[in-house]
Amino acid sequence: MTYTSINFIFFVLATALIYFILPWKKYRWTVLLAASAIFYCLASYKYAVFILFTALSTLLIGLWLDKVNTSSKALLKSKKGEWDREQKKAFKNKLKVKKRWIMALCLILNFGILAFLKYYNFFAGSLNDILGSMRIDFSAPTLKLFLPLGISFYTFQSMGYIVDVYREKVKPQTNPFKFLLFVSFFPQIIQGPISNYSQLGHQLFEGHDFDFTRFKYGSQLILWGFFKKLVIADRAVVAINTVTATAQGYNKYSGTTLTFTILLYAFQLYADFSGGIDISRGVAQLFGIDLIDNFKRPYFSKSINEYWRRWHISLGAWMKDYIFNPLAISSAFLNASKKMRGTKFGKTKAGAHIAKVLPTAFASLIVFLVVGIWHGANYKYVAFGVWNGGIIMLSILMQPLFDAVTDKLHINRGNFFFRLFQMIRTFIVVLVGYVFDVAPSFNQGMMTIGRFFTDQSIERGRAEIFKLGLDWKDYVLLLVCVVVIWSVSMIQEKHSDTTIREMLDKKPFILRWLVFFFLIMAVIIFGIYGSGYAASDFVYMQF
Amino acid sequence: MKKKLYITRGLKLLSFGLAVVLLTLLLQTFLLKRIDNNTMRMEAFYLEEKNTVDAVLIGASDVYAGYSAPYAYEKYGYTSYPYATQSSPANIVLPQIKEVLKYQNPKMVIVEINAFLYRDSELPNEASARMFADNVPRDSIWRDYLKDAIPEDKQIEYYLPIIKYHSSWNEYPWKIKYLNAELGLKQRGYSLFRGYKTVANEFHCTTKIYNDEIKDKNDTLPLAVNGERYLRQTLEYLKDNNITNVMFMRFPHIVSDSAYNRFKRCNEAARIIESYGYDFVNLERHGDWAGIDVNTDYYNWDHLNIYGSEKVTDYVANMLQTKYGITKTELTDKQVAEWNDSVNYYHMIYNYSQEMIKRRLELGKTGNGGTTVSEDEKSINTIKQYARNHPGEGKYEVILDDEEES
């Protein structure tokens, strides 16, 4: 049951009906839990054991951490007069180590499952390559492994929870069923957003009353998501899949076609992922639950750093909270910075800057390496991470140089054309990163970048582009959709304090309804659905 | 106050939903649907006035290309109709017979058996079945067919065909030629071509063929599992319901190496049909009975051209009249005028096709190909244009609707 199927619509409506007519408000969360369980089992009942294990292990370890916290606090309280400062410090350090080990147990267990299922074959293959090149007669077996639905998303969400419990930012959940709902909430299980417990937990468990406005806004958001996914993403993906269908076939396309494919991919990926998130957020909103927004017009970003604050926001926030910040303030990184400051180079202006931002720069590189690997077990994703992390690292390290050049050229940073230049520059950097997403392998990604410069032929490109499964009418439709999305994004950018839905609500009734009417008809007529079309999975579902 | 708000909201939502549903239904009925010569042929059958069609021929493309109802009417005076769709599969034959008997009271129903001869591996696809299922009334026969033939999760696409055909917006403007022709058909109330479709070509086969050698060949091959199942199901239904005005035929085909096994399956089908006591005529084996010449009468391996179709129509008409006693039907003046209009169009089709065949032969084109003439706007305009430019060649000039043309 995909989010864009008729069955899902009926499933959501039935769940909403039961949820709102249930007279005991405090138990309404059980309806969401039952719906989530049904949704998960219908999609992947064979692998439900994995999500159950994650939920249970995280819950128990969370409770264990809490117990350790509570008992140690009680002990500290009881020893208030007895222990001196040193004893207290020693106790706290010991406690910290103990808590870390408990947390690490949870992280190792759950990330271990994810890593095994997602990366075992990748590492086994790499190991075999290395051993082979060293002429060592050993071969790690490759296994037929399947990824349980949403494993990346629920694992990250659960591990975020355990870190928050460790940091005592949240009180642990004691009800296993409530916690299972937090881990498996059906609108977000396929592709996020990755929510944190303090933001989502209480919303799930408190019984919401039916609110017409929220229901209306939720439905409108779902409709917009359907438009993006069915009309744009699933249309564009036909051409992209044709180009990438086989590794050999991919090599035969001209640089022009490959450039076009990468551009199309940028559009398709945005429509697919943000469309899916709109559906998720819309469905949650029907029940009175606000999921965090995962996108903020990413292609309007003026730097790659900004892009990653606007794209897949929940993953970015997770990485920042649980990897970047701990790394950037880790003693190893801070010591390295300190050491550099003590050197001769560190005493120069440039050296001082580099020493100052070194922890941030390296932490960024590592974070993006993790982001790259998170996308998949393939060297091309490693390259994707290194490219993005490397650019961010360079931009942090060389910021004073860029500033100096900008000043020297007397460029007004607020100037429209300069901002436009920054946006286009950032978009190009993003596109280069996408090359590694699209290309079947790392080598082919590198080849594609080479072809950008050496194999441009409008004639060949034109001939090839119309053989990718889309005709000129489809391309015209996609172009119209680009204009629509761009216009909507412009409005959102200008009025970031409100939503388009709220703005539309203030417009005359006829105009409002015409907009929704045309949107519904556009989905019905131009959507890619029904038999004869294999419904495309959401791109981020595979991650 | 709150109650009033709820009522207003409810009414607004209801009217919005109704508008969406209404527009969707309009789109699915008129614009976003499959429409081609098969659609036209099936829709036109249901426009024939009840109990005015003397003979109905059920089958696939070999029937609507190999039999001309207007020609039969002009020469023999009885009314007939090819209730046929392209590559029709075996499981629609019985529903087709039921449909024909429900909406007309023909003196004879001829079933061309092509549908039963497919191997299991070459069964016609969903599109072929839909040429029937999309274009017939949503009656109990149709519902039974869905239950029998369509997986449950796919049936919704038959009740709401927009799910299947919404993407047909992409076929515009090409599809307008059929859309306009369909609007004309509905407005007029009868078909101009009475289901006939042809391709102007004279096909000369260059490989070994067996049509002269198979006249006495009785070797058989078993039918495919589904083919035999549906054939027996059809025959049992006919027998159980004491339906006797049905006979079976095999239309002429060129029998090459690749079609030889099909010929053998046809012999097996004949054996089964005759074992149930029904008549069977095999013009694939006995093309000479209709005077078929493999060098001049086909437009491709499996389809007769205008010359071949006239010969088969002559044969069928003679058979119906001499063996089954079918006579001219009493028609109203209006019906006569309508049939005469179809005869007029048939002459235009014939003359135009004849000229196109001549030109192709002059160019040495005798392989597959040729100009398709079906009841679409483009073909209608083309044959009319040809008729205007060649007024002396046929009977059509006297009936040509000049007013419409001007």
For residue range B241-258, what is the model confidence (pLDDT) as tens digits?
999 999 999 999 999 998
pLDDT tens digits along A286-335: 999 999 989 999 999 999 999 999 999 999 999 998 889 888 888 888 88
pLDDT tens digits along B63-115: 999 999 999 999 999 999 999 999 999 999 999 999 999 999 999 999 999 99
Cβ contacts of B200 within 8 Å, gap of 6 or more: B299, B305, B306, B352, B353, B354, B355, B356, B357, B360, B370, B371, B372, B373
Determine, yes or no, domain membership for B255: yes
Contact in structure between B250 and B63 (CB atoms under 8 Å): no
Q: How many CB pairs (< 8 A) connect A and B?
A: 40
Q: Stretch A216-233: mean pLDDT, rounded?
A: 95
CB contact under 8 A, A517 and B16: yes
Determine, yes or no, domain membership for B159: yes
Range of the domain at B313: 36-179+194-331
State the SS3 of A356-375.
Answer: HHHHHHHHHHHHHHHHHHHH
Chain centre distance of CA B30: 21
CB contact under 8 A, A524 and B167: no
pLDDT tens digits along A397-415: 888 888 888 888 888 888 8
Q: Which candidate in B167, B170, B172 is best for mutational testing of the A interface (most A CBs within 10 A)? A: B167
Residue-level pLDDT at A409: 87
Reduced to 3 states, what is the DSSP secondary structure of residue A194?
coil
Q: Which of A516, A517, A530 sits opposite B163 (nearest CB)?
A: A530
Q: Stretch A371-376: mean pLDDT, rounded?
A: 85
Nearest Cα of chain A lies from the Cα of B36 at a distance, in angstroms, of 19
Residue whose structure tokens are 């508008």? B19
Determine, yes or no, domain membership for B21: no
User: For residue B12, is pLDDT > 90?
Assistant: no
| d(C-alpha A519, C-alpha A517), whole Å | 5
Give the pairing type, strands B298-300 and B303-304: antiparallel
Q: Which of B27, B32, B170 sits opposite A473 (nearest CB)?
A: B170
CB contact under 8 A, B162 and A524: yes
| Closest residue on chain B to A216 (Cα) | B13
Work out the angle at residue A209's Cα, subtended by the Cα atoms of residues A204 and A214, and round it to the nearest 5 degrees: 85
The chain A residues in contact with chain B (CB within 8 A) are: 6, 212, 471, 473-474, 513, 516-517, 520-521, 524-533
Residue from A150, A170, A187 nearest A55 by CA: A150
Nearest Cα of chain A lies from the Cα of B3 at a distance, in angstroms, of 14
Whether B47 contacts chain A with CB within 8 A: no
The CATH code of the domain that includes B265 is 3.40.50.1110
Look at chain B and report how many structural domains it folds into.
1
Please list every residue in chain A whose beta carbon sits closer than 8 Å to the beta carbon of residue B167: 528, 530, 533
Locate B162 and state its tokens: 């927009």
Please list every residue in chain A whose beta carbon sits closer than 8 Å to the beta carbon of residue B164: 530-532
Whether B157 contacts chain A with CB within 8 A: yes
User: For residue B396, is pLDDT > 60?
Assistant: no
| d(C-alpha A314, C-alpha A415), whole Å | 31
Work out the angle at residue B15's Cα, subtended by the Cα atoms of residues B13 and B21, and round it to the nearest 5 degrees: 100
Determine, yes or no, domain membership for B251: yes
Determine, yes or no, domain membership for B19: no
Cβ contacts of B96 within 8 Å, gap of 6 or more: B58, B83, B88, B132
Please list every residue in chain B whose beta carbon sits closer than 8 Å to the beta carbon of residue A528: 167
pLDDT tens digits along B208-222: 999 988 988 889 999
Average pLDDT of chain A, as a whole number: 90
Q: Which candidate in B28, B165, B170, B174 is best for mutational testing of the A interface (most A CBs within 10 A)? A: B170
pTM greater than 0.90 = no
Determine, yes or no, domain membership for B339: no
Residue whose structure tokens are 């299947």? B164
pLDDT bracket for residue A173 (50, 70, 90): very high
Write the CA distances from B325 to A245, B54, B316, integer angstroms: 63, 11, 12
Determine, yes or no, domain membership for B382: no
Determine, yes or no, domain membership for B368: no
CA dihedral B179, B184, B185, B188 (to 10 degrees): 170
Q: Which of B19, B126, B169 sits opposite A517 (nearest CB)?
A: B19
Please list every residue in chain B whose beta carbon sits closer than 8 Å to the beta carbon of residue A212: 9
Q: Where do runs of H (alpha helix) occur along A172-320? A: 176-184, 197-205, 212-226, 234-244, 247-252, 255-286, 304-310, 313-319
User: For residue B401, is pLDDT > 70?
Assistant: no
Residue from A223, A229, A232 nearest A285 by CA: A223
| d(C-alpha A150, C-alpha A157), whole Å | 11
pLDDT tens digits along A272-291: 999 999 999 999 999 999 99
